[in-house]
Amino acid sequence: MLLVRNLVLGANLNGHSLHIITEEGWTARPVVTSAVQSGPISCGLWVVASIAAVLRGYHFTGLTEEDMDSLWSSRYSAWNDSRPTMA
């Protein structure tokens, strides 16, 4: 629950209003009921993609397994570009 609360608060603080009450009980409901991941490596990437979709107001990602390489590359590039350089 702490992760969900922090994500909602972070989105609200950054101008992405999510009208979700985090202080009351909540129920997790699956948005996908069939497997979309075929390999053992991309699980965390699917989680990040799903969280990003929900925080943007969508109910699911719309991605396929074939999209994971492209998503991984773009996330890695964004992370790598934001790292401070060592002088």
Is 25 or 81 the better-scoring residue by pLDDT?
Answer: 81
Residue 61's pLDDT is what?
A: 83
Q: What is the C-alpha separation between 49 and 47, in angstroms, rounded?
A: 5
pTM over 0.85: no
Dist CA 76 CA 48 (whole Å)? 13
Q: Average pLDDT for residues 6-12, to the nearest whole number?
A: 83
| Biggest CA pair distance of the chain | 49
Place of tokens 């934001």: 82
The residue ranges of every structural domain in the chain are 40-82
Return the closest-CA partner of residue 20 out of 60, 53, 49, 57.
57
pLDDT tens digits for range 15-63:
888 777 666 666 767 777 777 777 777 778 888 888 888 878 887 788 8
Instruction: For residue 7, give the nearest of 53, 66, 71 by alpha carbon.
Output: 53
